[in-house]
Structure 1
Amino acid sequence: MKRTSANLKTLAREALTGNFALPVSAYLLITIVTSVLSMVVTGFLDVSNTISLVTSQILVYLFSLLSSLLMVGYDKMILNLNRRQPYTLGNIFYAFSHNPDRFIVVNFILLLVGILVSLPFDIPSYTSSSWNAMILSMVGILVRSLVSIILAAFFGLANYLLLDYPEMGAMQAMKESLKLMKGNKGRYVHLYLSFLPLTIVCIFTCYIGILWLLPYMQTTLAFFYMDITGELDTPVVEAGNVQDNSFTNPML
């Protein structure tokens, strides 16, 4: 059964009712860790020194990869929440202790594509006047966001698959995501963009509202994955703890 965006959001709100504290705290911790690291690097950024500029930018990208891995663990927490399984703050470090190379490969590939398409805007922004630099930076952010949505419409389920199938490789997960997303890309994009109005509202709260919006959004997207794989229609006991080496899915 293909549930509508409204149906999936209803499931997310029901799952989060009375359970918002830990998802909000976990996202806040991830934000603090990655923001502090990025601020330390950019604080020493010397645009007059090419080597320093390149080194600092590489470190920023590495921190972005670190953030992606922490968000994989966050998705693990949300999946457990959705499945009414135990979940803890420690779940955010899940990717670092469960064959991390698989998660690193998937998220590095997605990050690399985003970097390559935004470089034409990022590089000139460091040497342009402040006004032009701001415009170029904003355009770069917009381009990365659009590319991120497009990539997610193809490979957005890869991390979930790696979480559910510990023996699955990175490239296999991306291939399986492509198969699962066939005929569902429009649904995913529509679901993702349906959060845009709330995101705009969060801007007027100095982004504080993001602490509540992101758990809501990630919970909904996790339900989207569970819907596509058929789990919501045929719940499996202890779902998410699959230990066999094969990938079987009723949708494939």
Structure 2
Amino acid sequence: MQQSQYKSNSELKYLARMQTGRYMGILAGTILLNFVITLVAANIFSSLVPVTTAVGYIINYILVFAVQVVTSVLNVGLSFIFLKSACNMQSTISDLFCGFRKNTSKALKLSAIIAVVESICMIPLDIASVQLTDVLESVNLNDLSLMLAGGSLDSYEILESYNVFYNAMMKFYLIMLVCTVISVILTLPFFPAFYMILDFPSWSAGTILKKSFEIMSGNKLRLFMLYLSFLPLYLLSIFTCGIALIWVIPYMKMAETNFYLDMMAVRNKTINSCV
């Protein structure tokens, strides 16, 4: 396949902007609902087991992982809604739960595999999070709390406390950035999976995985560059306290959907030309 056959990322994003503006309500609403369901479910199950011991932490981690797998089935519904919107079809909130009505076992298998890859990538971040918590507790309870209460801390002690705090935060954010980039890169081959559950309902989970890897061969860099092009919008969202994400996230998801549709269209043309 020639790279020129594909739409450019600028073309995909232009289409996405038009479609997102047309269906903003349902797109933003379902993404927000998906986020709330996932967050509430994770917090409920996470609170069931205290993490004061190593065993408790492991059990808590397993519970949160299980919740992550189950709630990831909602991604099938999100994909369905965005596919319908890209094809100028109306969607409803109930479409978000279509993954639980049919092809649920396939969605769970694929979600579990993707969750395992993501969890492995995030292990260094989990360790760094525990270390950061220990550092913050020691700094807050000893030096910073005394300083804020007007206690007697000399300038050297204040500077030392802030240095510890600053270094711990910078280390944590650096590890988070590296883990996130690695996770995104390693999960790129799985990108079409949830769309393909909808387009090819007769395929098994194994076949979908195989075809996903096959289709993404030669397209992973294109998708990564598409993701990277949204980084300025995410950074600008900081200045709106995250409010702009209500538009940015659906916009990016719609661009992903157009990427998938374009990729499949080129593949089908190539197959037909070889017949």
Cα–Cα, structure 1 residues 102 and 217, in superposed 2: closer, same or farther, change >3 Å?
Answer: same
- Runs (4+) of structure 1 exceeding 4 A deviation are 41-45, 131-137, 231-234, 248-252
Give the counterpart letter for 2:253 in structure 1.
Q
Query: What SS is found at the alignment partner of 2:240?
Result: coil
1:105 aligned onto 2:109: yes
Pick aligned residue for 2:183 from 125, 135, 148: 148
**CA shift for structure 1 position 108:** 1.1
Where does the alignment leave 5 or more consecutive residues of structure 1 unmatched? 235-247
Q: Tell me if structure 2 keeps the 8 A contact 1:47–1:126.
A: no
Cα–Cα, structure 1 residues 250 and 17, in superposed 2: closer, same or farther, change >3 Å?
Answer: farther
Pick aligned residue for 2:13 from 3, 6, 9: 9
| Whole-angstrom distance in 1 between the partners of 2:80 and 2:188 | 20
Give the counterpart letter for 1:168 in structure 2.
W
RMSD: 2.7
User: For the pair shown, which has the larger CA radius of gyration, 1 or 2?
Assistant: 2
What count of residue pairs does the alignment treat as equivalent? 239
Cα–Cα, structure 1 residues 86 and 225, in superposed 2: closer, same or farther, change >3 Å?
Answer: same
Give the counterpart letter for 2:176 in structure 1.
I
1:78 aligned onto 2:82: yes
- Identify the structure with the greater helix proportion: 2
Q: Tell me if structure 1 keeps the 8 A contact 2:128–2:172.
A: no
Structure 1 segment 5-154 matched on structure 2, within 5 A? 5-43=9-47, 46-123=50-127, 125-126=129-130, 128-130=134-136, 131=165, 138-139=173-174, 141-154=176-189
**CA shift for structure 1 position 107:** 1.7
Pick aligned residue for 1:205 from 229, 237, 240: 240
| Whole-angstrom distance in 2 between the partners of 1:250 and 1:179 | 17
Q: Tell me if structure 2 keeps the 8 A contact 1:118–1:140.
A: no
**1:73-103, Cα deviation, whole Å (9 max, x unpaired):** 1111000111122311111111111111111
Cα–Cα, structure 1 residues 138 and 36, in superposed 2: closer, same or farther, change >3 Å?
Answer: farther
Question: What percentage of residue pairs aligned between the two structures are identical?
Answer: 30
**CA shift for structure 1 position 66:** 3.3
Deviates more, 1:162-171 or 1:111-120: 111-120
Deviates more, 1:130-139 or 1:171-180: 130-139
Normalising by structure 1, report the TM-score: 0.83
Pick aligned residue for 2:226 from 171, 180, 191: 191
Where does the alignment leave 5 or more consecutive residues of structure 2 unmatched? 137-164
Cα–Cα, structure 1 residues 206 and 56, in superposed 2: closer, same or farther, change >3 Å?
Answer: farther
Q: In the alignment, which residue of structure 1 is the partner of 2:148? A: none
